[in-house]
Amino acid sequence: MGNAEIVDAGNKYVMNTYLRLPVAFVKGEGSYLWDDDGKKYLDFLSGLAVNCLGYNHPAIVNAVCRQVQKVMHTSNLYWIKEQVEIARLLVEQSGLGKAFFCNSGAEANESAIKLARKYAKKKWGDHKHEIITFSNSFHGRTLATVTATGQTKYQKGFDPLPAGFKYAEFNNLEDLESKITGNTCAIMLEAVQGEGGINPATPQFVEGIEKLCRDRGLVLIFDEVQCGMGRTGKMFAFQNYRIKPDIITLAKSLGGGFPIGAMVATDELSAGFGPGDHASTFGGNQTACAAAVAVVKYILDNNLLGNIINMGEYFKGKLEELKDRYPFVKEVRGLGLMVGVELEADGNKVLEECMKEGLILNCIGGKILRILPPYIVTENEIDEAVQILDRVFAKI
C-alpha cells in the first residue's frame, strides 16, 4: 500500500480532525524519515517536539524492548519501579519535590490546574479558583486546557467552557498585574510559546511573574510540554531564568516517542493531593517510564544539552544569513533547538515546497515556520536543511 492508497483509506475510516499532508511515513533512522513510496525526508519537526533522539535510537528501542518482555503495565494500584526511577531523575534535575504521571501534555496541564486549585482552596479558601494564562498560549485540547489556552480559535463551538480562567497579554507584566484579583490562585505560562509562534518570555517578565506570585501567594505553573526536557538547551526551560516555579508540566520529548506526561511540583504543592484526588490508569506504566528513563539518562550521559545549545546557535546563525538575503524573512527567534522563522510571505507555500524537497517543518498561522530538530542533529544536517530553505526561498 503506497501513500495514495493510505490517504484514500484514511479519508474513508479516520475522523477528519487534522489537515494532514498526503504522505505516510513507514521508516525512520536518526534525523531522517522514509515514506511508503521510498522517498527520504530530513525531519526538522521531530514529531512535534516528541522524537528528541531522532528515530530508532538504540537507547529507547532497547529500553522498551527489554521492558515489554518483562511487564508492560500493572496500574498505579501498585508501586512501579521504573516510575520511581524517572520520578527521582525529574525531581533531582528540577529541584522540585514529587512527580505525577499521565499520558499526554494536556493531561499534565489538567493535573496542574487541579492541583493548584486544590492546594489554594485548602490554604486560602474556596474563593481561590481563578487561573491566569496568556495571549497566544496553548495548553491542550481537553475542555479545561482548551479554555486555559489563550487563543479563541481553538475554543469555538465547545462552549459552555469551564469557568475560572482569565487571560493577560504575554510579556506584559503591567497587564498581568491588572488581571489579578482576590480569587486568583495561579499563573500559568510557557517559557517559550510553541503553538503561539515560538515566542520566548523575556527575563524581566518571568522574574516579575515570580515576584507577583511570591508577594500574593499565587501558584506559579510552567507549562513545559513543548519547551521542556532539553529543547531550549536546559533540561527545563525555567532554568533559563533566575526563578523556580511551583509546578512544571512535561510530555512530548519526555518519552522520546513513547506517550507519557508528567507534572512535577514542590513538596508543599504536592501535599495538596491525597489518595483519590487524581489518577491515571495508564499513566506512568512500566513501558512508558522505561522509555523516559532512557531518554533522560541519554541526555545527561552524552551532554546533549551542550549539543542543543551549540547546534541551536549554529542553526540560527545560518538562518540569519538567509534573513539577510531574503527581505520577506522578518525574524528568527527561539531558544536552543526551538526555532521560529517569521515570514512576510505564504508560509504554507514554503512548507509545501520544503516537503517536495524532502524537508519536514511546520507552519503556524500561515506566516511562522516552526522548526524543532532532534537533539542529535549535526552541522551537516543543519546545512542540508538550510540549503533546502535557500532553494525554496529563492522561488518565493
- What secondary structure does DSSP assign to 308-363, as a single string? HHHHHHHHHHHHHHHHHH-TTEEEEEEETTEEEEEESS-HHHHHHHHHHHTEE-EE
Predicted local confidence at residue 241, as pLDDT: 97
Q: What is the pLDDT of residues 237-254, one digit of tens each?
A: 999 999 999 999 999 999
The span from the CA of 96 to the CA of 27, in Å, is: 38
Predicted local confidence at residue 385, as pLDDT: 98
Q: What is the pLDDT of residues 300-339, one digit of tens each?
A: 999 999 999 999 999 999 999 999 999 999 999 999 999 9
Average pLDDT over residues 147-162: 95
- What secondary structure does DSSP assign to 34-50, as a single string? EETT--EEEESSHHHHT
Q: What is the pLDDT of residues 64-120, one digit of tens each?
A: 999 999 999 999 999 999 999 999 999 999 999 999 999 999 999 999 999 999 999
Average pLDDT over residues 370-379: 98
Q: How confident is the model at residue 3 (pLDDT cuts 50, 70, 90)?
A: confident
The span from the CA of 300 to the CA of 295, in Å, is: 9
Predicted local confidence at residue 48, as pLDDT: 97
Task: Please state, in angstroms and as integers, the Cα–Cα distance from residue 63 to each residue in 72, 258, 289, 295, 361, following that order.
Answer: 12, 11, 10, 10, 29
Query: Cell numbers at residue 56, please?
Result: 530508532
Q: Return the sign of the alpha-carbon dihedral for residues 221, 224, 228, 231.
A: negative
Four-way CATH pick for 60-301: 3.40.718.10, 3.40.50.300, 3.40.640.10, 3.20.20.370: 3.40.640.10
Query: Per DSSP, what are the bridge partners of residue 262?
Result: 101, 250
Q: How many CB atoms lie within 10 A of CB 204?
A: 11
- pLDDT at position 235 over 70: yes
Q: How confident is the model at residue 24 (pLDDT cuts 50, 70, 90)?
A: very high
Average pLDDT over residues 137-160: 96
Predicted local confidence at residue 2, as pLDDT: 79
**What pTM, to 2 d.p., does this model score?**
0.96
Q: Is the domain covering 3-56+303-395 a CATH 3.30.420.480 domain?
A: no
User: Domain segments of the chain: what residues?
Assistant: 3-56+303-395, 60-301
Predicted local confidence at residue 396, as pLDDT: 85
The mean of the pLDDT values for the chain is: 97
Average pLDDT over residues 143-168: 96
Domains 3-56+303-395 and 60-301 share a fold: no
Lowest mean pLDDT among 21-25, 216-220, 299-303, 376-380: 21-25
Tell me the percentage of the chain whose pLDDT exceeds 70.
100
- pLDDT at position 296 over 70: yes
The answer for residues whose C-beta is within 8 angstroms of residue 199's C-beta and 6 or more apart is: 136, 170, 171, 192, 193, 333, 340
- pLDDT at position 1 over 90: no
